[in-house]
C-alpha cells in the first residue's frame, strides 16, 4: 500500500488471537488442530476463549459452557490457568513497550499503541505493524492481529478484520495486519454490521433494526435527528459520529514503563565490534528518543547480547544521575558492549534504559537538542549542557573499566577501529562470572 496513504495511521490495536486457548495449545502441542474451549465447565460457566477449530462449530467467547458443549461435544474443555496467561501477557506488554511508551493496555491480550512519535525511528505504521506481529510470534510463539488507523475505533475494527476466520471448511488464516488509510475509512466502516461499532449494544441494535438499519452504511444514511429520537440525544450523537468513523479519544499510556528498550535479531551473526557498534549506536539513539517521548530519564543502561548458540548475557551500568542524553547513553552502551567478547557471533543485540524518573520539561531536551537549539543569546547553554554530560561519560567509563577490566574500554574515538574492535575468540575481559553460557546476575 502507498506509504503516504498510511502515514496517518499511527494508532495500532494489537489483539492476541484466541489468547487463552492458544496458550493452552502452545503448552500442550497434542491439542493443536483440536477444538479447545477455556472457561467454566459448570452449568453456569461461560466460554472465556476458544480455538478457531471450536468456532467452526459456532462456539464463541461469552457463550454459556452448556451451549458450547452442545454445539461441540468433542471439544477439549480446560478451566484455565490465569497465572500462565498473565505471565505471557507481561511478556507481550514488555514487547509493546519496546516500540513506544504510549501503550494503553486493554486487558491481558490487547492494547492500543500510538506510534506517531516513533515513526522516524521505526518507519511507517504499516512496517511497524508487520514487524510487531512478527516479533510477537517470535517472542511468544503465539499469533496476534494488528489493526492500524487514524483512531482507536478504526484500529480496533481493523485488527478484528485481520483475524483468522472460522469457516465450515475449518480455520482460515486471516490477513494478520489490516491498515485502514484515511481515504478508505468510510468504505471499510460502511461494509460492517452495526453491532461491530462500540456503543451499539443489543438494545440499540434491535431499535435500529426497526428502522431497517443493519449495516454501518445504512446507519450513516440516517439523519442524526432521527438517530437521536430513537436512541436518545447523547447516544444518538455518539453513534452518528462512530458511523462517520469519528473518534477523538487519545491513546493514553496506562503506566509508566519500567524500562525503555530496543532489541534486534540480526539476519546473520556479527563477529566483530566494528560491525556491531553502528547497530549499538542506532539502538542507543532509539532508546533516547523513547525516553524523551515519555518525558523520562534513565539511570541504568543495559546491553543484552544473545550469541549464535542462544546463550544470552546482559551487562549493565548505573549512572550517578539519570540521563536522556544521546551521547551519554551511546558511550555507556559502547563501553559495555566493548567489554564483551563477540567472537562467538552475536545474533541479537539489545539496548535498554531503566531506573526511570520523570523529567521536568526543560531537562527533557537531550544534549543534542541543547546544541541544536542554542541561540547566540543563550550561548552558555551549549557548554553548560556539555560538561555534565561528559562528566557522566567519564565517570561511567571509569566505573565500567573498574568492573570489567582495563582492556574493556577504549577511548570513544577509537571504538570501531579495526585494531581495537576485534577481540579474539575466547577472550574474557570481565572475570569469572561471565563465562559464555552463564547469564549475569542482572
Ligand atoms: Mg484477543
**How would DSSP label each residue in 167-229?**
ETTEEE---SEEE--GGGHHHHHHTSBGGGSTT--HHHHHHHHHTT--BHHHHHHS-HHHHHH
What topology is assigned to 259-434 in CATH? Dna Ligase; domain 1 (3.30.1490)
Burial pattern 252-276, b for ≥16 Cβ within 10 A else e, equals ebeeebebbbbbeeeeebbbbbbbb
Residue with cell 492476541: 16
Q: Give the residue extent of every domain in the chain.
A: 19-82, 191-243, 259-434
160 CA → ligand 1 middle, Å: 9
Domain 191-243 and domain 259-434, same fold? Reply is no
14 CA → ligand 1 middle, Å: 8
How much is the pTM? Answer: 0.60
**Residues whose CB is under 5 A from ligand 1 (ion)?**
15-16, 19, 109
pLDDT at 145: 98
Instruction: Tell me the β-bridge partners of 350.
Output: 263, 304
- Give the CATH class of 19-82: alpha beta
Which helix (H) or strand (E) covers residue 276, if one does?
helix 273-293
Q: Which of 24, 53, 104, 110 is catalytic?
A: 110
Structural domain 191-243, CATH architecture: Orthogonal Bundle (1.10)
DSSP 77: E
111 CA → ligand 1 middle, Å: 10
155 CA → ligand 1 middle, Å: 14
Burial of 71 (0-12, 13-18, 19+ CB in 10 A): middle
Strand order in the sheet with 144-149: 103-105, 110-114, 11-16, 144-149, 177-179
22 CA → ligand 1 middle, Å: 10
Is residue 185 among the annotated active site residues? Answer: no
DSSP 333: H
Q: What is the pLDDT along the chain (442 residues), one digit of tens a residue?
A: 567 778 999 999 999 999 999 999 999 999 999 999 998 877 778 899 999 999 999 999 889 999 999 999 999 999 888 889 989 998 999 999 999 988 988 888 999 999 998 888 899 999 999 999 999 999 999 999 999 999 999 999 999 999 999 988 888 999 999 999 999 999 999 999 998 987 788 888 888 888 889 999 999 999 999 999 988 998 899 999 999 999 988 888 766 557 888 888 898 999 999 999 999 999 999 899 888 877 778 888 999 999 988 888 999 988 888 888 888 999 999 999 998 999 999 999 999 998 777 654 333 333 333 333 333 333 333 333 444 556 666 667 777 766 665 444 444 433 333 323 222 333 222 222 223 333 333 3
Rounded CA-CA distance 32/44 in Å is 27
Helix segments in 100-184, DSSP class H: 119-122, 125-140, 152-161
Residue with cell 549512572: 319
> Measuring CA to CA, how many Å separate 198 from each of 78, 164, 250, 258?
30, 21, 16, 32
pLDDT at 428: 26
Measured in degrees and rounded to the nearest 5, phi and psi for residue 146 equal: -125, 130
162 CA → ligand 1 middle, Å: 12
CA contacts within 13 A on the Cβ side of 108: 16
16 CA → ligand 1 middle, Å: 4
Structure-block grid coordinates of residue 140: 511468544
pLDDT at 64: 92
Amino acid at each position: 500500500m502507498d506509504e503516504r496513504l498510511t502515514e496517518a495511521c499511527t494508532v495500532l490495536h494489537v489483539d492476541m488471537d484466541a489468547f487463552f486457548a492458544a496458550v493452552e495449545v502452545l503448552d500442550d502441542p497434542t491439542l493443536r488442530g483440536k477444538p479447545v474451549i477455556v472457561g467454566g465447565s459448570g452449568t453456569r460457566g461461560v466460554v472465556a476463549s476458544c480455538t478457531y477449530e471450536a468456532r467452526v462449530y459456532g462456539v464463541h467467547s461469552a457463550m454459556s459452557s452448556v451451549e458450547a458443549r452442545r454445539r461441540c461435544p468433542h471439544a477439549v474443555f480446560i478451566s484455565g490457568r490465569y497465572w500462565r496467561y498473565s505471565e505471557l501477557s507481561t511478556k507481550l506488554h514488555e514487547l509493546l513497550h519496546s516500540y513506544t511508551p504510549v501503550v494503553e493496555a486493554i486487558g491481558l491480550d490487547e492494547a492500543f499503541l500510538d506510534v506517531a512519535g516513533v515513526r522516524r525511528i521505526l518507519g511507517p505504521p504499516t512496517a511497524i505493524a508487520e514487524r510487531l506481529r512478527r516479533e510477537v510470534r517470535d517472542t511468544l510463539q503465539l499469533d496476534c492481529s494488528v489493526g492500524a488507523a487514524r483512531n482507536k475505533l478504526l484500529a480496533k475494527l481493523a485488527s478484528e478484520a485481520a483475524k483468522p476466520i472460522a469457516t465450515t471448511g475449518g480455520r482460515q488464516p486471516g490477513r494478520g495486519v489490516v491498515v485502514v488509510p484515511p481515504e478508505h475509512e468510510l468504505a471499510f466502516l460502511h461494509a460492517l454490521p452495526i453491532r461491530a461499532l462500540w456503543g451499539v449494544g443489543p438494545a440499540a441494535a434491535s431499535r435500529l433494526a426497526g428502522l431497517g438499519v443493519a449495516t454501518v452504511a445504512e446507519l450513516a444514511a440516517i439523519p442524526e435527528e432521527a438517530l437521536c429520537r430513537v436512541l436518545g440525544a447523547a447516544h444518538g450523537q455518539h453513534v452518528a459520529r462512530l458511523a462517520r468513523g469519528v473518534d477523538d479519544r487519545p491513546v493514553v499510556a496506562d503506566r509508566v514503563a519500567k524500562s525503555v528498550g530496543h532489541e534486534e535479531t540480526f539476519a546473520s551473526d556479527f563477529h566483530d565490534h566494528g560491525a556491531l557498534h553502528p547497530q549499538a549506536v542506532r539502538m542507543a539513539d532509539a532508546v533516547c528518543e523513547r525516553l524523551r517521548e515519555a518525558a523520562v530519564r534513565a539511570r541504568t543502561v543495559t546491553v543484552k547480547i544473545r550469541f549464535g548458540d542462544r546463550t544470552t548475557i546482559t551487562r549493565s551500568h548505573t549512572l550517578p544521575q539519570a540521563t536522556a542524553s544521546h551521547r551519554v547513553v551511546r558511550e555507556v552502551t559502547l563501553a559495555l558492549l566493548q567489554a564483551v567478547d563477540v567472537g562467538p557471533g552475536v545474533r541479537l543485540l539489545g539496548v535498554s534504559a531503566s531506573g526511570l524518573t520523570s523529567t521536568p520539561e526543560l531537562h527533557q531536551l537531550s544534549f543534542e537538542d541543547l546544541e541544536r537549539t542554542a541561540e547566540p543569546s543563550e550561548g552558555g547553554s551549549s557548554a553548560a549542557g556539555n560538561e555534565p554530560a561528559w562528566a557522566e561519560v567519564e565517570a561511567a567509563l571509569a566505573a565500567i573499566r573498574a568492573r570489567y577490566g582495563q582492556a574493556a574500554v577504549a577511548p570513544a574515538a577509537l571504538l570501531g577501529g579495526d585494531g581495537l574492535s576485534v577481540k579474539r575468540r575466547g577472550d574474557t575481559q570481565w572475570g569469572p562470572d561471565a563465562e559464555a553460557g552463564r547469564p549475569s546476575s542482572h
